[in-house]
Each structure stands twice: as C-alpha cells, then as structure tokens.
Amino acid sequence: MNIEEFIKHIEAEFDDLKPGILKADSNFREAFEWNSINALILIAMVKTEYDVTLTADDLIKSKTVSDIYTLIETRKS
C-alpha cells in the first residue's frame, strides 16, 4: 500500500473531488465538504480496502490525509 493509492480510493468515493487536487498534506476537512455522512463514507472505505477501523476520535485528532494514512499503516502492521 502507498499514499497515492489511498488518495485514489478517496477520490473514487467523493464525486465532488476532482482528481489531482487532494495531496498528502491536504486538510481533508477543507478538501471536501466535511459532515457526518462523509465521515461514514471514509470509515467504510478504509474498512473495506484496508480492514482498519477508524473511530470518531481518530478523525477528530487527524488533520491531513497523511495523518489518516499513518493511522492505517500503524494498525495494519
């Protein structure tokens, strides 16, 4: 797994997100409209693709795309 692939998975889930805009250091709350439904979409994608569970607390503590990616990496290993 790598972060480019993770970004591609996010882009696939959010229609409003034009490919290429989201970067590793992007603040995900600003990159796409952040609400509870989008939080669930992100959690569902991470569970399906990486079999990792993100909690509400994880999302609150994360700021950038790479913050979430690091969480997934740590929990996968």
Partner 1 sequence: MAQFSLPGIKISGLAAAVPSHKEFTADYKWIAVKERESLIKNIGVESRRVATKGTTTSDLCVEAAGKLLDDLHWDRSEVELLIFVSQSRDYLVPTTACIVQDRLGLPHSCVAMDIGLGCSGYVYGLSVAGSMMQSGTIKKALLMVGDISTLTTCYRDKSTYPLFGDVGTVTALEYDINAPKIHFNLQTDGSGYKALIIQDGGARNVMSRESFNIKKVGPGIYRSHLHLELDGIEVFNFTLREVVPNIKKLLAGTGESLAAINYVVFHQANRLINETLRKMLKLEVEKVPYSIREFGNTSGASVPLTMIVSLKEQLESGKQKLLLSAFGVGLSWGSAIIETDRICIPDLIEVA
Which positions lie near partner 1, rule CB under 8 A?
33, 35-41, 43-44, 47-48, 53-56, 59
- Vertex 29: Cα angle to 27 and 32 (nearest 5): 100
Q: Using the minimum distance from each CB to partner 1, give the nearer residue, 25 or 57.
A: 57
Q: Using the minimum distance from each CB to partner 1, give the nearer residue, 25 or 74.
A: 74
Q: Using the minimum distance from each CB to partner 1, give the nearer residue, 46 or 65.
A: 46
Exposed (0-12), middle (13-18) or buried (19+): which is 69, by Cβ within 10 Å? buried
CB of 44 to partner 1, least distance (A): 4
Cα distance between residue 3 and residue 16, in whole Å: 20
